[in-house]
Amino acid sequence: MRILTYSEAFNQALCEEMARDLCVVLIGKDVGAMGGVFGVTAGLVGKFDGARVMDTSIREADISGATVMGIRPMAEIMFGDFLATGDQLINHVAKTHVPLTIRGTIGAPGAAAAQHLPRTPARLDVNTRADSVKKTGRTVIVREAHGRSGPSADIAAVIAGHALDDLDTQIQRLADQNVPLPNAPALRNSIYQWLEMSPTQCA
């Protein structure tokens, strides 16, 4: 079996996808001649023309703009932390059905500390929640936002990990529907109808 580093595996995957689909382009800071900050894109600018391997700034406008041009951008943003400032990506592109791949590093490469590592500890009073489950045997988590992939899922996992034997029924989560939030009041209010529902009516 061939042994590859993560950088080599990503490089091979990028190369194969770009060869398979001419609509795929690679954008990001230093992805061209430099080969990316971690060497993931090394050699790709030589295999594909400069119109498909483009050095760009780390700007959400560059990434989101590429998605409306009929191409399939694969963007390198260097560090995953930079996604937190991407309003167009998080609030717009992420809620549409466009082919987009964003790759960034999450972890501790180069000892970049808190500036480029999302390791800030989230404080959660686990003991208080576990004690509540012992008293009631139930847990209902309410969040006025999408339920999928949010903090309510993490809280449910923590409670299950610390008080599973004390639960008399499954953990219930009340949240918005997993759809983009519309501006029209009538549509927006329909999404908030979960506020009038009982836990047993919500998935």
User: The CATH number of the domain where 29 resides is what?
Assistant: 3.40.50.970
- Looking at the fold, whether 69 and 137 belong to one and the same domain comes out as no
Percent of the chain past pLDDT 90, that is, above it, reads 26
- Looking at the fold, whether 80 and 139 belong to one and the same domain comes out as no
Q: Quote the DSSP letter at residue 21.
A: -
pLDDT digits (tens, 9 = 90+) for 8-32: 989 999 999 999 999 899 988 889 8
- Looking at the fold, whether 83 and 171 belong to one and the same domain comes out as no
- Looking at the fold, whether 99 and 135 belong to one and the same domain comes out as no
| Interval 36-45 mean pLDDT | 89
- Looking at the fold, whether 69 and 156 belong to one and the same domain comes out as no
- Looking at the fold, whether 15 and 109 belong to one and the same domain comes out as yes
What is the number of structural domains in the chain? Answer: 2
57 belongs to a structural domain? yes
pLDDT band at residue 199 using 50, 70 and 90 as cut-offs? very low
Last residue of a domain, one of 65, 85, 116: 116
34 belongs to a structural domain? yes
- Looking at the fold, whether 130 and 107 belong to one and the same domain comes out as no
26 burial (CB, 10 Å; 0-12 / 13-18 / 19+) is buried
| Interval 89-118 mean pLDDT | 66
Last residue of a domain, one of 89, 116, 143: 116
> Does pLDDT of 127 surpass 50?
yes
121 belongs to a structural domain? no
- Specify the pTM: 0.56
Q: CATH number of the domain that 133 lies in?
A: 3.40.50.920
Q: Across-strand partners of 142?
A: 174
68 belongs to a structural domain? yes
- Looking at the fold, whether 135 and 167 belong to one and the same domain comes out as yes
Residue 40: domain span: 6-116
Question: Side chain identity at 126, as an amino acid letter?
Answer: V
- 55-61 contacts at long range (C-beta below 8 A, 24 or more positions apart): 55/28, 55/29, 55/30, 55/31, 56/27, 56/28, 56/29, 57/29, 58/28, 58/29, 58/82, 60/85, 60/86, 60/87, 60/88, 60/89, 61/88
Last residue of a domain, one of 64, 98, 116: 116
Q: How far apart are the first and last CA of the chain?
A: 43
1 belongs to a structural domain? no
- Looking at the fold, whether 98 and 135 belong to one and the same domain comes out as no
Asked if residue 64 lies in contact with residue 27, where contact means CB atoms within 8 angstroms, the answer is no
> Does pLDDT of 110 surpass 60?
no
Q: How far apart are CA 138 and CA 160, in angstroms?
A: 11
